[in-house]
Amino acid sequence: MSVTKPIRVMVVDDSAVVRQVMSAVFSREPDMEVVVAQEPLIALRKMNEAMPDVILLDLQMPRMDGLTFLRRIRSHAIPVVICSAFSGANTQAAVRALEYGAIDIVQKPELGLKTFLDESAATLVELVRAAAGSRAAVRRETEDEDKRRASAPTPDTLTRPRPRWGATPAPSSDRIIAIGASTGGTAALHKLLGAMPSDCPGIVVVQHMPAGFTAAFAQRLDETCRIEVREAKDGDMICSGTALVAPGNHHLLVQRRGEAYYAQVRGGPTVSRHRPSVNVLFHSVAVAAGTKAVGALLTGMGDDGADGLLELRNVGAPTFAQDEASCVVYGMPKAAVACGAVDGVTPLSRMSQALIAAAQAPKH
C-alpha cells in the first residue's frame, strides 16, 4: 500500500510571530509538513537538503529581499505565495513578484494568532493545497514568461496607439466583456488584456486580490497593455478600449443608465467567500447588458463566478472558461463547466480573440 507524500510547505519570513502562526496552521494538517527559514539564504540551504512543494514568502527581509530570492529560485518552478503586509513599497514589490512567477498574494497575519486561525487559516490551507498541484502549470508559465521577456520590445520601441487615460473622452461601450479570475489570474490577465486591441469593448474585471494591491496591479497592466487599465471608481463610465479592475475588498457591479454603462463600487458582505466576488459582477452584468455582454472565467481555486456565468448564459450572453491545460488552478472554470455555464472552453492563448469575436457577432 503506497503512502501519499505530505505537502512540504516552506515559510520564509524574518518575523518569528509569522513563522509561529504558519507553523501552527500547517502542522495540524495531516497531509502537510512545514519547514521555516528566517531569511532567504537559510531557505536556500534548506532547499539543498529537500525541495519544498510550496513556498510562502515575505518580501522585506535581511541580507536578501524576497524579489531577489524569487528570481534565484525561478528555474525550480516551485509555486510561491507572497505573504505580505500592505504598505507602499511593499505593494509595488508584491505586484512585481507576481510578474516573476508568484501565483497569489495573501495578507501577512498581524492581528494575532487566534484571529488569524479563526478567520484565514482554512482559506490559506486550501490555497496551499491548490498551489501544490500547480507545479507543472507554474513551469509552463515560467517558460512562457521567459520567452515573452526575451522578445519584448524595449521602452524606446514600445508605442501605445492611443491617448493616456482622461486625455480625451472615450466613447461609451455598447458591448461589455466581464472577466473573473483568482489564483494564477494575474499572469493570465497580463496575457489576455495585453492581447486586446485598443478599440475593444469596455472590460470589467474581478481578480481576487487583497485590498491595497489592486491599484498597483491595474497600474502595471496599464503600463504594458494597448488598452487603458485602472482600478474602478464608483461612477466610472465603462468605455471602449478600457478595462476597470475591481478594488480589493469591494464588490464591482455594472449599471446601465440610458445608452451607457457605469461602474458601481460597493461594500457589503462577502459573496462566495470573496469581496470582490465574480458572481456579484456577473449577476449585475447579466441584468445591465444581457445579450450585449460576454463573460469569461479564468484560472482560480474555488467556484466563485460559476453561478454568475450561468446567469449570463441564460440571458443569451456568450460565455467562456479557460481550459485546464492553461490554468494554474483549474477550479473556477471547472465549476462553471460542471454547472453548464460555458459555451466555449478556450486556451488562454486564444481567449482574447474568442472574446472579441463573440462581442462582434450580430445580436438577434
Which residue from 182, 139, 201 is spatially nearest to 272, judged by alpha carbons? 182
Q: Which amino acid is at 26?
A: F
Would you state the cell numbers that stand for residue 174, as one nine-digit string? Answer: 455598447
Instruction: Quote the CA–CA distance of 11 and 22 in Å, as a whole number.
Output: 7
Nearest to 222 by CA among 252, 190, 200, 178: 190
How far apart, in Å, are the Cα atoms of 314 and each of 140, 180, 282, 342? 35, 18, 12, 10
CA distance 332 to 302: 5
Determine the residue type at 29: E
Task: Copy the grid coordinates of residue 164.
Answer: 493616456
Q: Which residues contact 266 (CB under 8 A, 6 or more apart)?
A: 234, 250, 251, 253
Q: Which residues pair with 107 in a beta bridge?
A: 84
Strands (E), the chain: 7-12, 32-37, 54-57, 80-84, 104-107, 176-181, 202-207, 228-231, 242-245, 251-257, 260-266, 293-297, 319-322, 344-346
Cβ(170)–Cβ(239) below 8 Å: yes
Positions annotated as catalytic residues are 182, 208, 304
Backbone angles phi, psi at 57, to 5 degrees: -125, 125
Cell of 83: 505573504
In contact, 286 and 303? CB cutoff 8 Å: no
**Bond prior to 269 in cis (omega within 30° of 0):** no
